[in-house]
Each structure stands twice: as structure tokens, then as C-alpha cells.
Amino acid sequence: MKQKTIVLIVVIALIVGAVWFLQAPKPSSATSQAAEIPLAPAETTLEPQPTVSNSTAAPAKPVEQQAAVESARTIAKRTKYERAREITNPSGFINTDGKAISIKDLIGKKVILVDFWTYSCINCQRTLPYLTSWYAKYKDQGLEIVSIHTPEFEFEKNYDNVQQATKRFGIEYPVVLDNDYGTWSAYKNKYWPRKYLIDIDGFIVYDHAGEGAYDEAEEQIQKALKERMDVLSIAGSVSSGIVAPAAESPEARSPETYFGAARNEYLSNGLSGSVGPQSLQEAKMISRNQLYLTGDWNFLPEFAITRVAGDTITYKYMAKGVYFVGSADTPVQIQVLLDGKPLTGEEAGSDVKDGVVTVQEARLYRLVQNTDIGEHTLQMTITQPGLKAYTFTFG
């Protein structure tokens, strides 16, 4: 009898335990990978309807009708366009009041122009008058420009350097520091400059690498803004016409030429690709598009640095303009000759004063600005040691 009682108690305990287990709350399951956040709305209605200056909102479409229109629109786009990518591993933000921004938070609200650039690149600098003009013209009509600053050189990773450059160029739109190339890699980009236009649904509807095609780009911006107004049921119109800012036009037949050992294949009178000090002698003959240095130089991967006063740089080029990227810990003066004569007057770039350019801040310096393309020989005599020479570029 006692044995039966024990068995009965055990059975009752098991039943009570099973009931408790079935009714108790369970912890949610977790995976080792975070879920992806879709960048563009799929078959959902677009509820945000931001106001646009000088326009009024039209009556909203019925939810069922709006969802159906959006479904047909986005399904058609999926076969033609790629989706936008998110900002990845940013190193800082400028012109955002200290706040982080994301692409996903803009999709469904704005048309987005993503611009890859770096501040010492002359090709990028020549696009900026168009970008700043587009921003001024369309920012109140639904355009947001997101500037992705991906550095070519180590000094371009410095937040203060980039911030000073944005002020110098009059950039008011958000700038994202992409020091680790996270966003650059997400977009599989390979060029400076590069523009991606993202529409209201989060698709990349236009893509252009390099300079030029400004009329085409602005027409695509206008088209995307008109679609945005229709999707968000915003009455009004998008500004017409094409901007024509004062901007330089490239005229160069000489290649970008690097001083640093990692890429100095045009170094003619020294050992290219070699890190360390070299004593270089003056060349007897000068060929076009070849870099000639004299004196004592120390070659590092990104730049070559002068070791004594009187070191020289000589380069024969074919172009209108010559640009030099350099820096120094303390101001270094460089005497500049063009075809054997002091560089003065109209030929002198904006950074040359009385035939001398003073280099300290890490940036691009404008040396020569002729009115016509032509072949010339540039000679620079560095009056103090400590100049860090990065590149010549031409225009």
C-alpha cells in the first residue's frame, strides 16, 4: 500500500511539472547574425509626407490604391536597378550637428545623391561647384546629398583637415568620414569622384564615375524629385533648368604622378618603388611625363621628403594647370619656375605669390594656370628641408 502511495505521488508531481513547463514563458531564440534591415520600402505604404516649401499636400490616395501603385512600381524597379547600400563603419560626421546619419532613415522621404570624394583630389574639387549648386537649388524640394569622404592619403583621415576643407569649399550638406573604406567597399566603388543617385524607393537609378555629365546628372535629379512628389502626394513643381557654376574644365595629357615609393613609377633619375634615402643627381635630358628629383630625399610609401635645403623637382608636362599635393611640419618655401622663368602674373596659380609657394597645411596647392593647353617645364627649388611631396596632378 505504501509503495502504491509513493508511485501515485510521483505521477502527480510529473503531471504538475509538465503543466508548469507548457505554460511558462520561453526565452526568444537568437541567431549569431543580426537581421538585415531593408533599405527600401517593399509592399508597404509610404506614410511620411514631409512638407516642401511653397507647396501644399494633395489629398492622400486610399491605402489600398497607394500600396498597389507602390507594389507595381518597386517590382518593376527590382529587375532594373540595384538597391542602395548603407553607410558602413563611419569615422565621423560633419554638418550633422554631431549626429550620426543613415541612408535607411532618408529612404521614403528624400531623393539621395551619394558622392564619393577626397579633399586633395583635383578631379573631386572640380565637381564641387555643381554639387553645392544642386544642393542650394533642390534641398527644399526633397534632395539630400550625402558626401562620403574616402581618403587617399593618411592626412585625409584627420577630422579637422576634412572639416576645414568643407568650409573652404562651401559644403553645407552632410559629410561622412569613410576612413576604413567601409562605405566605399559596400558600394564596390573604385573611383574618385563617384556619384550614386538613390530614388524615393531606395534604388540606385543613376551612377556616374569621374567628372562631367553634369547636365545628365541634374536631369536625373529632377526626374527623381518629380517621382518623389507624386509618390508622397505633394503638389507643386520641381525647379527646371540646368545650373552653370563657375568651374574649371580639365585639359590634361599628363598622368597623375606620385612621389611616394608605393606608386612612383614615373621617377626617372632614381630607384622607383624603393623605401629609404636616395641621393639623386641632375639628369642630362628631361623627357615629358617623367619625374626628376635632385638632392637628398627620403622615400616613404605615401610621400618623399626633402632632407636638405636646395633639393629640386623638375617635370615636363602637357596641360593647362598644375596642382601639387604636399605638406610640412613647419612652413617650407618653394621657388617656382616655368620654362626657366619665375612663375608670376596670370600663369601663376592661386597659391603662388611672387614666384613662391609656401607649403605647410596638408592639401592640394595650385601652381600653374595657363589659359591654353601646352607643353611646359616646371622646376621647383625647395629652400628648406622637411617638404613632404605626394603628387602632381594636371588639368
- Long-range contact pairs involving 262-267 (C-beta distance under 8 Å, separation at least 24): 262/301, 262/302, 264/291, 264/299, 264/304, 266/290, 266/291, 267/291, 267/293
pLDDT at 68: 61
Cα 171 from Cα 162, distance rounded (Å): 11
Please report which confidence band the pLDDT of residue 39 belongs to, taking 50, 70 and 90 as the band edges. Answer: very low
Cα 297 from Cα 277, distance rounded (Å): 6
User: At a CB cut-off of 8 Å and minimum separation 6, what does 83 contact?
Assistant: 39, 40, 202, 203, 204
Please report which confidence band the pLDDT of residue 291 belongs to, taking 50, 70 and 90 as the band edges. Answer: very high
Domain identity same for 199 and 267: no
Residue 239 lies in a domain: no
DSSP state letter for 139: G
Domain identity same for 199 and 105: yes
Count of residues in the chain: 395
pLDDT at 251: 82
Please report which confidence band the pLDDT of residue 195 belongs to, taking 50, 70 and 90 as the band edges. Answer: very high
CATH code where residue 76 lies:
3.40.30.10
Nearest Cα to 61, choosing from 41, 71, 46, 42?
46
pLDDT at 61: 45
Nearest Cα to 91, choosing from 187, 175, 192, 214?
175
Residue 56 lies in a domain: no
The 3-class secondary structure across 295-352, one letter per residue, is EEEEECCCCEEECCCCCEEEEEEEEEEEEEEEECCCCEEEEEEECCEECCHHHECCCE
Residue 104 lies in a domain: yes
Q: What is the mean pLDDT of residues 285-310?
A: 97
Please report which confidence band the pLDDT of residue 56 belongs to, taking 50, 70 and 90 as the band edges. Answer: very low
pLDDT at 3: 45
Domain identity same for 77 and 204: yes
Domain identity same for 187 and 276: no
Domain identity same for 211 and 294: no
Q: What is the mean pLDDT of residues 382-392?
A: 97
Radius of gyration of the chain (CA): 30
pLDDT at 301: 98
The structure's pTM equals 0.83
Residue 3 lies in a domain: no
Task: For residue 70, give the amino acid letter.
Answer: E
- Name the domain boundary from 197, 231, 265: 231
Residue 15 lies in a domain: no
Higher-confidence position of 239 and 249: 239
Residue 195 C-alpha cell reads as: 556619384
DSSP state letter for 67: H
Q: What percent of the chain has pLDDT over 90?
A: 77
Cα 116 from Cα 128, distance rounded (Å): 11
Of 68-72, 111-115, 195-199, 218-222, minimum mean pLDDT range: 68-72
Domain identity same for 89 and 211: yes
DSSP state letter for 22: H
Domain identity same for 222 and 347: no
DSSP state letter for 32: S
Task: For residue 244, give the amino acid letter.
Answer: A
- Name the domain boundary from 190, 213, 231: 231
Domain identity same for 213 and 344: no
Range of the domain at 166: 63-231
**Does residue 89 contact residue 184 with C-beta atoms inside 8 Å?**
no
30 pLDDT more than 60: no
Which sign, positive or negative, has the C-alpha torsion 349, 353, 355, 356? Answer: negative
Domain count, the chain: 2
pLDDT at 16: 42
pLDDT at 36: 32
Domain identity same for 325 and 376: yes
CATH code where residue 312 lies:
2.60.120.260
**Does residue 342 contact residue 222 with C-beta atoms inside 8 Å?**
no
Residue 36 lies in a domain: no
Cα 43 from Cα 46, distance rounded (Å): 9
